[in-house]
Amino acid sequence: AQGLIAAIAGREVLLRATPLRPGAWLFIVVTLGALGIAAGYELFEWLVVVVANHDTQVAYLATQGDPWDTQWDLFLCLVGAALSQLVLSRPHDRQLGLRV
């Protein structure tokens, strides 16, 4: 849900507030924006773990023993952002009254 929500919300903001139109540039900017939000959250998560005590670290991080948890989160954000745009961009454009 992380990439999906950020992508559709970001897409709407960019279509309404910038001269960007549906196409490759919008797709790239939205996808990178969603990845940026996810990366920011992962950095915040890391900062909490660095500052907190051991019990809080274990409870907050919740990686379930997976050392690749951060990379998986970012990969799934990328997949969610890309798929949501591929599947929902046409209905979204119609809803906004843009030419499809």
Please state the domain extents for the chain.
2-96
Look at residue 23 in the predicted model and tell me its pLDDT: 95
Look at residue 64 in the predicted model and tell me its pLDDT: 66
* Region label for 52, one of left (φ > 0), alpha (ψ between -120 and 50) or beta (otherwise): beta
Note down pLDDT in tens along the chain; length 100 residues.
Answer: 789 999 999 999 999 999 999 999 999 999 999 999 999 999 998 898 888 887 777 777 766 678 888 899 999 999 999 999 999 999 999 998 887 5
Residues 29/34/36/40 CA torsion (nearest 10 deg): 160
Look at residue 20 in the predicted model and tell me its pLDDT: 94
Query: Residue 1: CB partners within 8 Å, gap ≥ 6?
Result: 80
| Distances 29 to 24, 36, 47, 68 between C-alpha atoms, Å | 9, 10, 27, 26
- Between CA 38 and CA 3 the distance in angstroms is 8
Look at residue 40 in the predicted model and tell me its pLDDT: 96
Helix (H) or strand (E) holding 74: helix 69-96
- Between CA 47 and CA 55 the distance in angstroms is 15
Look at residue 78 in the predicted model and tell me its pLDDT: 97
Look at residue 100 in the predicted model and tell me its pLDDT: 57
